[in-house]
Amino acid sequence: MRKLLNILVLSAFIFLGINLRAYCADLSSQFVIEEIKNDIIEQLKQIYDGEIEVNIISLPYQTLSLPDGKVEIKAEIGNLDVISIIKTGIYVNNVRVKSFGARAEIKIKTKAWVAKDWIKTGETLNSIAFEQKEITSSFGSLPQKNFKPGNYMARRNIKPGEVIQIKDIQEIPTIVINSPVSLIFKTPAIAVTIPAIALTSGKTGDFIKVKSIQYKKNYVGKVIGQNLVLINI
């Protein structure tokens, strides 16, 4: 009886082992590396024009055992540097089953906005050109494809030949400090407009301080357009 029981237990383990193997997949590190690399490149192509080179330096695994199913490997690129730790997720049938960091070396030769002459703090970005450059700083610091230089001004002095980075620029406000504005007082029935001076800068939708030229009194109103500030009463 005991012998029969042992045979049944052994048979069950063998059966389970066969079935577990049938529902598992082993991924080599080389396969995972290629998938991460391709995913990073595809994501970066949506942001940058130019040559993109990705080298996965290290993984925490030599092989990965996964449940059977449709396998997807997704990289979260975030704010990249030349050497980055890429947060990576492995999904089976759309369920994340593994998470780890992959060390990657990334090089991008792309067109970037470069200062042609000195651009002083507060000046608009008129003296710049779109040139091919190998980017060695954080890639996320560069303006994206839809960047329009004429809408921005410098936060600091930018020297000739320097690549324009997001931290060095800011969007030109709709209303600039010390500029003349029309201050509109509005009720449900009427609207009255008086001249004023902007005491702070702001974009459309911002609330800024203004000073009435006639009454020498300060107000806070909403920027609704070029040199237009609204106060609802």
204 backbone φψ class: left, alpha, beta (φ>0; ψ -120 to 50): beta
pLDDT tens-place string over residues 178-220: 999 999 999 988 999 999 999 999 989 999 999 999 889 999 9
The strand pairing partners of 196, in sequence order, are: 181, 212
Average pLDDT of span 138-153: 78
Place of tokens 């396969």: 31
Q: Which two tokens stand for residue 122?
A: 């507060």
2 backbone φψ class: left, alpha, beta (φ>0; ψ -120 to 50): alpha
Q: State residue 145's pLDDT score.
A: 65
Average pLDDT of span 53-62: 89
Three-class SS state of 195? strand
Residue 30 pLDDT more than 60? yes
* Percent of the chain whose pLDDT exceeds 70: 85
Average pLDDT of span 101-117: 87
Confidence of residue 52 (pLDDT cuts 50, 70, 90): confident
Domains (ranges, CATH) in the chain?
A: 25-108 (no CATH), 109-171 (3.90.1210), 180-232 (2.30.30.760)
Average pLDDT of span 220-225: 95
C-alpha 14/C-alpha 6 separation (Å) is: 12
Confidence of residue 11 (pLDDT cuts 50, 70, 90): very low
Q: Which of 206, 129, 141 is nearest to 172 (CA)?
A: 206
What does pTM read for this prediction? 0.50
Confidence of residue 2 (pLDDT cuts 50, 70, 90): low
Average pLDDT of span 45-68: 84
How buried is 211 (Cβ within 10 angstroms: 0-12 exposed, 13-18 middle, 19+ buried)? Answer: middle
Confidence of residue 19 (pLDDT cuts 50, 70, 90): very low
Amino acid at 79: N
Cβ neighbours around 189 below 10 Å, total: 5
